[in-house]
Amino acid sequence: MDYLIFDTETQAIAINNAIFEIAKVLYASKGFPVDEDGIISSRDGVFDDAEVKTTSWYTPQQRLDDKWIVLHPRHSAAADTVLEDGTMGIVALMAQLPPQLEETEDTSWWPEQTL
């Protein structure tokens, strides 16, 4: 998986929130019910209970090197949205964010797993 990399938790949270706000617009364009609280998900074209909503893009995590990560928005279903002008959702989304360092997940990011 690819991630956006940040020096601080505050930076990671701010971009995570920005990604979610932009994604809400993209999901709404795909017909998903969206309100100020989040996105109502669907399974097989049937929308879930309106009380159950996606309320964040990702939960920022801290790596062993103290950097913070947020899942790259290219992994979102909103990334595949085609806007009315033909622009792909991921292009529109990334154009609204400041440039970020991107990295692919590496095992050195996390403590060793013991069984």
Q: What percent of the chain has pLDDT over 70?
A: 90
CA 89 vs. chain centroid, Å, equals 12
Reduce the DSSP state of residue 7 to 3 states and report it: coil
Q: How does pLDDT run across 82-111, given as a tens digit for each residue?
A: 888 888 989 988 998 888 899 999 999 999
pTM for the model stands at 0.84
Range 2-15 average pLDDT: 96
Q: With 70 as the cut, is the pLDDT of residue 51 above it?
A: no
Beta strands in 41-100 (DSSP E): 42-43, 46-47, 53-54, 61-62, 68-71
pLDDT, residue 30, reads: 80
Please state the rounded mean pLDDT for residues 60-81. Answer: 92
Arithmetic mean of pLDDT, 20-33: 86
Average pLDDT of span 13-33: 89
